[in-house]
Structure formats: structure tokens, C-alpha cells
Homo-oligomer: A and B are copies of this chain.
Amino acid sequence: MQPANAYAAQCPTRLVLDRVADKWTVLVLGLLAEGPLRFNELRRRVEGVSQKMLSQTLKGLERDGLVTRRAYATVPVTVEYRATPLGHTLSATLDPLRIWAETYIAEVQAAQRRYDAVA
């Protein structure tokens, strides 16, 4: 295998990138990596997500083997989501990104202001 040819059209990396490349995946996975959560708990914690998007995101994560869904036969139903081991490894590699964001966000915003001031 070539060393990191993520630029070719069908490189698998693209698939993962596309997966991560949505507003909610990273947030949801990060939360689940801390511990199992129920649907509406997630909904509350990830501010701004609609239940449609959350539902969709969770389904995608489940399909990719990053999260598991378990339903308990209580009344009403209880559904619990948790990160798989694979999901944990991904969440862990995403941590540096979260940290980068916190570290440099001010710089980015300053750059934006500078740019917008000119334009």
C-alpha cells in the first residue's frame, strides 16, 4: 500500500473523512466515549441537534461499527448507546483535534476578522 495517498479518488481515507465530516458525528462519538447514554440524554447534551439528525447520526455510527445500540424491554422502552472499542480508538484520535480547536480558536477568529475587514 502506498504511504498515505489520501488524495486518490477512491482512497479509503476519503470514506472515513466523509464520516467524520458531519456536524454531529464527532460530538456524539465523543460523548459516548465517556460513557453510555440514552437517546434523549444525548439529544439534550448535544445542543442544537434535531432528533432526526441524532437518529441519523447514530444509525451511521452503528453501521460503521463505532457505536452499539441496546434496547431494554421496559415500559416505556429504554435504549442505550455506547461506543465500541473501535469507536473508542476513533474518539481518542479525535481528541487532539478538540484540543487544537480550544487552543487555536482565538487565533482563527482573529484571522477571520482581519480577512473580513479587508474584504
User: Which residues of A line the B interface, CB within 8 A?
Assistant: 1, 4, 6-9, 12-13, 15-23, 26-27, 30-31, 45-48, 62-66, 86, 89-90, 93-94, 96-102, 104-112, 114-116
Contact = CB atoms under 8 A, between A and B. Distances in A.
Copy number in the complex reads 2
Nearest to A42: B7
Contacts of A48: 9
Contacts of A31: 7
A17 B46 CA distance: 14
A3 to B, nearest CB: 9
21 contacts: A1-B102, A6-B27, A6-B98, A7-B45, A8-B47, A9-B47, A9-B48, A12-B105, A13-B105, A15-B101, A16-B97, A16-B100, A16-B104, A17-B23, A21-B22, A21-B23, A63-B112, A65-B112, A86-B104, A89-B100, A90-B104
